[in-house]
Amino acid sequence: MAILEVKNIGKQFDSTMVLNDVSFSLEEGNALAIIGSSGSGKTTLLRCLNFLETPDKGSITVKGETLFDAAMPLKEQEKGLRTKRLHFGMVFQSFNLFPQYTALENVMLAEKLLAKERPDFKQNKKEIFAKIEEHGKELLGEMGLADRMAHYPHQLSGGQQQRVAIARALALKPDILCFDEPTSALDPELTGEVLKVIRGLADQKTTMIIVTHEMAFARDVSDQLIFMDDGVIVEQGDPKQVIDHPREERTKQFLTRYAQG
Amino acid sequence: MFWSVTQSLLGGLLTTFQIFLFTLLFSLPLGLILAFGSISRFSPLRYLIQVLVWIIRGTPLMLQLIIIFYGPGLWLGHNIWSGNEAGRITATVVAFSINYACYFSVIFRGGIEGVPAGQREAGQVLGMTKSQIFFQVTLLQMVKRVVPPMSNEIITLVKDTSLARMIAAYELTFAGYSFMKSNGLTWPLFYTGVFYLIFVGILTLLFNYIERKLDYFK
């Protein structure tokens, strides 16, 4: 069974239809790439999955549990919002690291706050925090940032900041990790280091949704690809198939325009 | 003579300091409440606060002080402020607290809105509660943003305390001025200035220290 089922998601801002009848599913351990021009609804889709926007229509199911259904009463939708959010991790285009915390503190903060709600927190505070710290250091190590843990965000390059943000999102062990154009705010020479990290995650079979403009990367790394335009999924399928031999006219146009730069 | 002037000015300084301290104590939280109200989704509250801020910022503090001190006695028939020094200081603190809360609310609002939405969103997707996001993520960034404009306002407050002379509260400027009226002495006026300069000097050092302390992040 698919780990994520998105059905008939619709979202309107004022009179603009941003998402229209968007449905897809994702298997555990797979990476899904979403491509499309700006304003096609890719980012809004990710924001809906992370409950930063509330869809007007449709449903979101993770591991068989319906997290969101527009048909549910509002109270039901908002119940346990925090727990529902934890199924998803989010890496933002603009990193959004907390500037007043070091790299390691950024990674540990949410985990520490969650730990405080554990019933055994008071007795085992020291061990719990030690474990969280160990986990945080391990994650930053995997991101190649072992020597940058005590640095503040403004002391790091964009690529390093984004890798901290990835470690921060991974710290809570989300079922599905979402990337919203993770390299769009980076200088070209820094995109490589971030893409390498994401590629590594794909090799480890991390379930991911990656919104990206890096066509070659999407083709290479993802197991499944969606092309969106004007709030609808125009085409989806095997990434190599879609990029090399698009069936839809709109996909062809987009890819041609893209190839021309 | 120098000694008696000093004594008299120290007495005035105490009143000045009381007005300063109590005004800050009340106007800071009140300003924060007004700031939250001014960005509330409930539009009548927003408009109400806008009008209040317009009136308070649009009229002289001296006028507000006169109205608050004499108003109740004229309209209600009895003075709610007792006629002694304490009553005058209380009326001053009330007028000043309302006035400064309005100025502070605008600064605080700028601080709240100045924190990028992405900071709150990052907290949300990490499963933090609203209060965790406020206290752990946005508060310190807000404080960093409001320290420079707040230091300006707070230094202005030190000198605005001299307006309390209008309702005969015996504060620092009143104390210095009284020597000119009674003895024709002008040097106590300059001496009074030195008191203000030292007061503001200490505050300036304090704000520089806070700014330096918050300099470790951007």
Q: Kindly write down the DSSP assignment for every residue of chain B, as one continuous string.
A: -HHHHHHHHHHHHHHHHHHHHHHHHHHHHHHHHHHHHHT-S-HHHHHHHHHHHHHHHHS-HHHHHHHHHHHHHHHTSS-SS-SSHHHHHHHHHHHHHHHHHHHHHHHHHHHHHHS-HHHHHHHHHTT--HHHIIIIIIHHHHHHHHHHHHHHHHHHHHHHGGGGGGGT---HHHHHHHHHHHH---HHHHHHHHHHHHHHHHHHHHHHHHHHHGGG--
Q: What is the predicted ipTM?
A: 0.92
Tell me which residue range forms the domain holding A196. Answer: 4-99+168-260
Query: Residues A5, A196: contact at Cβ < 8 Å?
Result: no
For the entire predicted model, the pTM comes to: 0.86
**Which of B:121-150 have CB within 8 Å of A?**
121-129, 132, 136-137, 140-141
Could you tell me the CA-to-CA distances from B94 to B18, B19, B32, B174 in Å, in that order? 12, 9, 17, 20
Handedness of CA B137, B143, B146, B147 (dihedral sign): negative
Query: What is the pLDDT at residue A150?
Result: 96
Residue A116 lies in a domain: no
B121–A52: do the CB atoms touch at under 8 Å?
yes
Note the pLDDT tens digit of each residue in A204-230: 999 999 999 999 999 999 999 999 999
Residue A145 lies in a domain: no
Query: What is the pLDDT at residue B142?
Result: 94
Structural domains counted in chain A: 1
Widest pairwise Cα distance in chain A = 63
Residue A133 lies in a domain: no
Residue A137 lies in a domain: no
In B, minimum Cα distance to A52 occurs at B121
Query: What is the pLDDT at residue A72?
Result: 87
Query: What is the pLDDT at residue A181?
Result: 94
Correct CATH for B21-171 of 2.40.30.30, 3.30.365.10, 1.10.3720.10, 3.30.70.270: 1.10.3720.10
Give the CATH number for residue A48.
3.40.50.300
In A, minimum Cα distance to B217 occurs at A100
A100–B141: do the CB atoms touch at under 8 Å?
yes
Query: What is the pLDDT at residue B186?
Result: 87
| Residue spans of chain B under pLDDT 70 | none
Provide block-wise average pLDDT over 10 residues at a time, chain A (261 residues): 92 91 95 92 94 93 92 82 92 96 97 91 91 96 95 96 97 96 92 94 95 92 95 94 93 88 62
Query: What is the pLDDT at residue A261?
Result: 62
